[in-house]
Amino acid sequence: MLACAVCGEPNPERARFCLQCGAPIGREAAPPPETRKVVTVVFSDLAGSTSLGERLDPESLSRLMARWFERARAVLERHGGTVQKFIGDAVVAVFGIPTVHEEDALRAVRAAAEMYWLATTAESSGIVELLAGDLAAAERELRKGVELLDGMGERAYLSTMSTVLADVLERAGDDAEAERFARISEQASDPDDIDSQARWRAVQARLLAKRGRLQAAEALAREAWRLAEPVDVLGLQADCQLALGAVLRAAGRDAEAQAAFARALDLLDRKGNLVLARRVRGELPVV
């Protein structure tokens, strides 16, 4: 009699499989055949995470990293990837395991592009909330985007989003934070990034006017307009005229301020930004 190595059941000598459990008898089960697959690996980490950790307290950094990993996993799995591990501030995912697809490399590239897109679309969400008049929601959306972009080491888009956030904060009356993010935009902006260069100047001009530094404020506001005037971006031009109007009004030069506000409204009307135009008219009924 042969005892089954799995369940111990005695079996006749001629038995090839256990009569009790069906396991092979007298021979070991053949190992599964080895397979070779071509896979695509995505490695994504947060550039500059060391300096980020120096600026944030441990709890804030932990929340940021948890949010980053949660979003990264969702994107990777939606495109068919399998997250293998998280290493420090990095995520490693494989496309082609357990199932190989012809377009695994393309899926991987799409996933990487979407992870980048997640951060940059926060500006659009923030602007939607700003137009709706919800400054707190706009700040929340923009802060998420700025944190992710800063953590990723992305500087070009960081400059734009930081100055939009600075604008929101200034409108909400948080001037200290507004100045901080305007400075971040100033430092991150390339010299030929007209949009960011004009916008951070416009925000700083309004902040300086609040402090009574009217000459410096006007100089910055006019510099912002000088940058924006030649480009065909009506929204940017309107923002710069609104900043100039705010500075001139703070200086008691009402006629000049009204002229700047009127130019801003004309630009907003031409752009079709009816929400902002209506808000400006509500704040300045004489325009």
pLDDT of residue 254: 92
Summarize the confidence of residues 209-237 as an average pLDDT.
93
Two structure tokens written together for 181: 């993010």
Instruction: Quote the crossing angle between the two packed helices 234-250 and 254-271, to the nearest 10°.
Output: 160
Give, as one character, the DSSP assignment of residue 24.
Answer: B
CATH of the domain at 47: 3.30.70.1230
Peptide bond into 58 cis (omega under 30): no
In angstroms, what CA-CA distances link 77 with 71, 74, 114?
Answer: 10, 5, 12
State whether 18 and 114 are in the same domain: no
Query: pLDDT (tens digit, 9 = 90+) per residue, 58-81?
Result: 776 676 677 678 878 888 998 899
| Residue numbers of the domain that contains 80 | 40-118
Two structure tokens written together for 47: 């550039």
245 touches 261 (CB < 8 A): yes
Measured from the Cβ of residue 206, the count of other Cβ atoms closer than 10 Å reads 25
Among 68, 83, 118, give the residue marking a domain's end. 118
State whether 70 and 46 are in the same domain: yes
Higher pLDDT, 29 or 181: 181
pLDDT of residue 280: 78
